[in-house]
Structure 1
């Protein structure tokens, strides 16, 4: 089968399409014929070695973190799935490999493909959906009646996070560009701030939670609008001591992340705010809940119209790294 692989970490890594054997499965895995795989910034972080302290890989490494496909074989101890089922998955971080014609995946990491999505749009859903679900339920432990603000939440993350937050009874405020106002309000946002005409930090105060999608440059502004005892969850700013401890990393890695996140933890602690960083994990049980939210709300993730195939993997990665895709970039099989 064809697989898109790297042979080492490099700041300018090049992916090669190689012929490798179709993987064998163990008793707890399914063999999936891949139909589509999404290309994310996570691939860039993995290829450059930026996440090797969190997860180090052996080479050659088949890249790719989320996919859709059809089950072709089922392990002896797998329950709830059968040959012919259409599935989607955020692959386990320890065993990625979505950029291949077949993938062996632990059944705990897959969910049935939502009925309103096809293979292409479905490939854009699991990573974002799980990030939103784990962020709201686990990291923030948000409760009904509380308020969450998502700066830059008018894109693909907000598309999933807003209905999940609303299903928990939260008030949702989002900032973004003027073109996205209509669809963001339609997704369930209670208030929309147009960043081209308004500064959210001048409009908001005493919110319970902020989910940061923009990175370190917004950290101080985000802290300024959170009430004492609130939480700031970042998808971009960087890991800290809490993240390393929760992940169960070794002592020396915990020390490194403690140093790396010290200035963010210090600023947050001064305001009696908790700073959290998330690195999303696979979870099939959560995908079941996300599937229901996708179906109930008619969510269809935005997908960039450019058609890429496995031979075009380097062009697809370049578009994610330096272009302006109009949604998730998808590799079709």
Structure 2
């Protein structure tokens, strides 16, 4: 039996709820250290999951010589952490999205990680429903692509009243454009090719939120993002994602072309039809573990897909591979960040902005 892949887990916000149950399901790995900003919480996670090292100084994990570093921290910390693990260890990298604060930073990291297994946590690429959708698009089911609409809303009273944290601070990379639209843009470009230009509207509805001490802090990050995208293949696609609409939750991907329509509803119901037929479900083998099987609370489709992705990442690391087919790479991250940069500029200037170099 091959030795388990040694993992350094940088970030503890969702480790016990999501990453560690997913890693347990994936198998073939050993978490050798975890870093978090709260010492008692990091120590508790380590004790519960038999992790030998818990620290508030992520640099201590460099000395553990991990095979894989999983970085799940605020966005402004991604670049220095990735750079350190690339420079001081031989570890492969799996970095949370959004990749960086901007495309320039993403391009720098991609150059520094060239020749290494450097991936982003766009796990929706491992969704069996999205994979079937992409295969149909690539096989020409749509004919000439005409249009698309993509929606992903997260709402609820808890989010409306959530306390201030880095997620609401634009300078730290907070906001729904990075958190969710990055996933949607990555999936769109994976399905349909490059985005050429963007028109965007970004909105912040709660202008202040109380921090942990009850002090009102200004919210500078976006809570609602709407993007209109011109694709290199000629299609125009709208993307809408919102965390401030409690009764408007839901997920939709719909592509329309000269010959057919494809629609993915709520991430687990794929439908399609040629234009001379009524749209109907498309059957596929979609074996995805349940939250019960994973031993985690219900964290939505992202959490259920993650272990499928991690299983293949761990396999690639164990084999010493510098690539993993279909996974989002740092180079893919540059393309996504160019779209997000253009969206921010468009929202400020009120015009279409090109997003290709």
TM-score, normalized by the shorter chain, greater than 0.5:
no
Give the TM-score band, short-chain normalised: 0.3 to 0.5
Report the TM-score when normalising by structure 2. 0.32
